[in-house]
Structure 1
Amino acid sequence: MMKAMIVDDEYYIREGLKKSDLWKELAIEVVGEAEDGAAAWAMYQLLQPEILLLDINIPEMNGIELARSIRNVNEEAQIIFLTGYDEFQWVKEAIALQASDYLLKPVVREELQKALNKANERVKKREDRNQHVDQLQRQVHNYSKAAHEQWLVDLVQQRRPLAESLDLLASSGIHLDLSGHYAVLCSDIDDFASLSEGYSVCDRQLNQYAYRKLAEEAVESYEQVYTLGETPSRVVLLIGNVTEQSVLLDIAIRLRSVISQYLKLSISIGISNPIQGLEHISDAYHEAIRAMEYKAIVGGGQIIPYSSTAVTMTQNNRLLDKELYMLSEMRAGNEANVINILREWSENLRSMAWSDVKLVASQLVMFVIRLFKEVDLKNKPLLHANPLVDMSNCRTTDELIRFLTSYFTEVGRAIRLSKEVPSHRMIEQAKEWIREHLSEDLSLVNLAEYLNMSPKYLSSRFKQATSETFADFTTQVRFDRAKELLADSSLKILDVAAKVGFTDTNYFSMAFKKYIGITPTEYRKRFF
């Protein structure tokens, strides 16, 4: 609603104006009133009303002086002067201050209505004009931004000669150092096709805008970062003045955190190696794309440096044999054997060149990540939630060996625990779920879905842990609960039956007698 303020030193005039039905009729809200010019000026600065009913003859600062102060900060405010003096000098001053109207007191309703309508129309025309100007400015900004982005895409994909791309960017205020240090990040939304299946065109555009906008805000504190929205699911970052992989990892972690927090989306991020010289920027771009595409191997939600994706076959056959043996022992859940192999394997690594150590370690970590995904441990949190990032931070062979030992031991332990008999807590969760769902058609399938495991596996483990089948335990719980409910004489037999999952009262009575030995009615009479 439009806002208005009434300034008059006479209380009853202010009250009369304020209680007029015109405000509601014209969708105007009276947000304040004042009896002198000084108070009105302070209130105006706080509330910023579009329309003012302003008595000229008020104390402290008269209406003309107040109007001058307002005009100094707002040329668009609609001022309707009120006065009890029909004198020419006041009218002349009001015209000079571009008053919306000039009314003599006592104010006639019809005259006030005309004045408010006039002020209202002026405000709307101003808003329409301002909106049109804002729209034009946004269009110019968007066109300019789209052109900048297209020229940056041309640069990283080498779709124009390098000199031409740099000239175009420089003409728009983007100056890139030809011999500077750069890198590229590629961020892609995981499972985007299935996530966006039900989106309308409008929803797609809104989500794409939000994704792009949050990506820009996530990296705005870093120097010289340019955001390119390649597709609805993909954002590419061109990063300048960077030589350290650790800076790129920080940016990627920040970006992933922001997208997860605000959009609740999982993204995978590929990171190129830092390069020197824009003539190599296309190599960095394709490295980031290829690294991101490794999510098909290691799973979504990962930050994947390109340096960790280099797969090589070591010339040391004994080492290769140990790698394969360790993976097989890890898959089997033989944690102790994995630790022993790691000790021997570490000695072999120390005898190799650092570049070879990184390649061998990268290959093995990729295999272990894939193994972790294959055995469906993705919902089990690990200390090393970003193994590729952690590995990239290692600077010496000893650091790398410590990381590998910690990570492989952790994965081996998780696999071993997944193969053991379910914990007491898991069985208690199952029992609690059964008790809470007695009034429903209980099924092993629903319970298995709740516990995130297969029905066959759950049935086997439940019997192993409780010495009862799922059906036997459920039957026992149903009738134990029925006996408890029968103690409440206010409950009818049909109510008790419904609460323990029987829709047919006769069938419930027959089943109760078969299991307990007497009917529900007899049980209630005998014991209560």
Structure 2
Amino acid sequence: MENLKVLIVDDEYLIRNLLKKRINWEEYGMTIVGEASNAHQALDMVDELVPDIIFTDICMPFIDGIEFSRMVIEKYPEIKIVIVTGYDEFEFARKSVKLGIADFILKPIRVSELINVINRLKKKIYEERDRNKEFEKLKQEFKQSLPFLREKFLNRLILQPLPEQEISDKCTYYNIPLADGKGNYQVAVIEIMLPKEEQTEEQSILLTMECRKKVETFFHDTENAIFTDGKNRIVIITNDDSKNFPDSCELLKTNLINSYKCFVCIGIGSKHKKLSDIYLGYKEACHALNYKVIVGKNQVVCYEDVIELGKQRYYPNEDLLEKLHFYICAGSAEHAGDVLNKILSRPFSNISQLRLAAMDIIMQCQYAAIEQRADEDNTINKETLAAILLSDNLPDLKKNLEEFVINLSNSINHKNNVKAGNLVAQVKDYIEKNLSDPNLGLASTASAFYVSPGHLGRLMKKETGQTFVEYLTNIRLKKAEMLLKTTELKGYQIGEMVGISDPHYFSILFKKNLGKSINEYRNGNKL
């Protein structure tokens, strides 16, 4: 670490010399880089040498030490200045604290006081340097994280209503070209899909990243915010009326399809005047995108094309749809049917809205079937979908959807029950094979099958009518009965063979459950 640089300013040579000779500065990590007899000379040396510490007298010709200190601190606030003063000048010197004077030292200069002052200053300088380094490091980290923070804000913007002023301020701060007051904000959501045989998580993410670069290049000359949402879809927010946005998206779709081996679907929301309504445009774009189930792959779907103009707009009830998805996955047909009725109890203004609601429900069913692998059983078929989509009145639609949801829920419930029964059978076999292990228990068994102890305990109770401990104890005692009848092994040996190594506890447990001691049982049940 380099020595700190010290400059001495005093019009008296003896004082300057005394300060230089009073201590060995090098021992304290400091070097005297210069000395000046007046403030004019000292100011030139400060510019040239940029010292870390300056010792200056108060009383000097032309410019006194206080004024000199003010001039230095104004230009170099990081330099530490020590006023050298006598007792008669101390009150005057103390007033200079407001200027930012670092310390004072009284004449005559004592070694101990001088050492204390320079040690304090050295510590303070190094602490400030460490803080400055840390601050610079934080600034760099913050600079590096700006793209992430920008992306995070844009995701907030599309997911919830935010105050207009906050949006405008954040757009300005993150250099997002939306806050110019033009209005007519429109949102597009692009979903990139790989062929099924190539559809891994990594490949999907990498493809979306490549496509996003392509999208940014495509729209480089227009005012847009382009980013990725939480579902790995590319989102475009435009505020540019110079081009027809849907037509641009059609060209973009063709560009992406021709560039990559993928399917591209784009949903476009309607125009909104306010920044705070962008989240509505995103909802509309997502809803239009979901319509791909009807129109097929490689399509651009505008929200206004799937909703009759001039009518009350349809917005899906996300909370109820999530509940429907949950109950179907749980195999609870009754609860799923109740939620379905709530979804369909809202007023609809036309058949298009009915069918849009039906598509929302079907999509939740499809997601549930895929998650629970019920799709492998061909639970969802074209005939079922056709019957629902061709329904032209609410009673028929409700009937068809209810049958569809209940059948799927029951199918998943049956699959879950079979899976649970298979697991319990495997657990029973595991217990039989590991009966002699004294550490065999609910936690260790659950760990062996990669399930939670609570889940395994509930399954055992449901399938056997006993708790895990009750079932394990019963199996151990049955094995002990058999050994007592067929062998001459001692009680403690049998206890060890069934996983109960404490003879006393084994005796107590045996008598409690069978009503006889081990010897009584053996004598009365010899084969």
Please indicate, yes or no, whether the TM-score normalized by the shorter chain is above 0.5. Answer: no
State which structure, 1 or 2, has the greater radius of gyration over its C-alpha atoms. 2
TM-score, with structure 2 as normaliser: 0.31
TM-score, with structure 1 as normaliser: 0.31
